[in-house]
Amino acid sequence: MKIVFIINSAQNQRCIKRVNEFVKNGYDVAAYAFTRGKELRNKPNFDLQIIGCFTNDTTYKNRLRLMFQSIKKVIKLYENEEVLFYLFSLDIAMLYRLQCRRNYIYEESDLVHTYVQNKIVRNILRFIDKKIILNSALTVFTSEGFAMYHFGKETNKNSIVVPNRLTPDILNYPLIEKKGINIDKIKFGFVGAVRFKALYNLAITIIEAFPKHEFHFYGTINSNRDGDFESLDKYDNCYLHGAFQNPVDLPTIYSNVDILISTYDLIEENVKYAEPNKLYESVFFETPIVVTSGTFLANKVKKLGIGYEVDPMSKESVINFVKELSAEDIKQKILNCKKIEKKDTLNINDGLFKRLESVLSN
């Protein structure tokens, strides 16, 4: 059976990776996506058809109208063909369900309704989200935390957790051996889209309070509304390296990072349950990770013994964390990373395709 993917953003590399997986596993696929007006950095190895374009400035009303009409056209294309739709994100799933009752797979990588300020609207969207999950042929959660958010400790029979791990292509680029840890000159690093108040607060605290340590940013600055990241370049111990290619540049980047920073704003409920791919980069590149305390991710990092938790919005918490770091403890965290099999950090999801075969055979 053909799998028809509808992607809310062609720029989302996680979605592109998922379709690539299906192609590699021999599935007949068709993929349709909306674009945010930006050029695709990495061209997919399948035919991706753009069905609509909008920017962050497009009003939600106009955006939803465009998406509704575009999804309608895709559904119509396959009205006489037996296919299984694969829907990324709540907005795509809602607009699909409004006009089609055919079977579908739903992938949830963010609890998007938690960002809505209006409590009534937020609760309505949460109800719809859960209905979409329960009525799906299969729901794919990219974090175990999302499953916990919806169902607590209960298991939902039509869902599976598939974390956003590293592309297996990373194996084509050998690890670069790091220099030994210099506890008096620790290299802290953030790898990804540079934004969030939590990151800015943690970074400025370390940069100013510990001038001998270094802070490295790898990635583009998405917004300065949460803090003037560009101004940090004036400090001698801060480095803004700019954009990089994933996975080509990752071995070089991580060879220059002693401790990986992965702190996000706890004010967003989504952050409490998310499982970012930085967790798996940390393990693969044997680099201890720092995460926001009070999150699902913090519990996982603590359980694995591969990093630290901190309140990034508290200057005192950040300063105490850095002061208490020791070479021995960092080495132990690295050792714990080494104990985890590299294959467990890769985006090889045999379990997903076994479940899918079960769905298709019913």
Are 280 and 165 a contacting pair, CB within 8 Å? yes
Please compute the mean of the pLDDT values over residues 241-246 and round it to a whole number.
92
Do 77 and 188 reside in the same domain of the chain? no
Listed residue (157, 161, 165, 159) closest to 129, CA to CA: 159
Residues 287 and 155 grouped into a single domain: no
| pLDDT grade for 204, boundaries at 50, 70 and 90 | very high
pLDDT at 86 over 90: yes
The Cα 41–Cα 61 span in angstroms is 28
CATH number for the domain harbouring residue 88: 3.40.50.2000
Domain that holds residue 106: 2-163+347-361
Ramachandran quadrant class, 305 (left: phi over 0; alpha: psi -120 to 50; beta: rest)? left
**Mean pLDDT (whole number) for 169-173:** 94
Higher-scoring residue by pLDDT: 222, 244: 244
Q: What is the pLDDT of residues 38-64, one digit of tens each?
A: 666 666 778 999 999 988 788 888 989
Q: How many domains does the chain have?
A: 2
Residues 224 and 266 in one domain: yes
Record the tokens describing residue 58, joined without a space.
Answer: 């497009």
pLDDT at residue 115 in the model: 86
State the average pLDDT over residues 325-353.
95
The residue written with tokens 């575009």 in the block is 70
First-to-last C-alpha distance (Å) of the chain: 12
The predicted-structure confidence for 286-325, as pLDDT tens digits, reads as follows 999 999 999 999 999 999 999 999 999 999 999 999 999 9
What pLDDT shows up at residue 290? 98
Neighbour count for residue 157 (Cβ, 10 Å): 6
* pTM strictly above 0.85: yes
User: Which residues, in sequence order, are bridge partners of residue 140?
Assistant: 107, 160
86 and 224 housed in the same domain: no
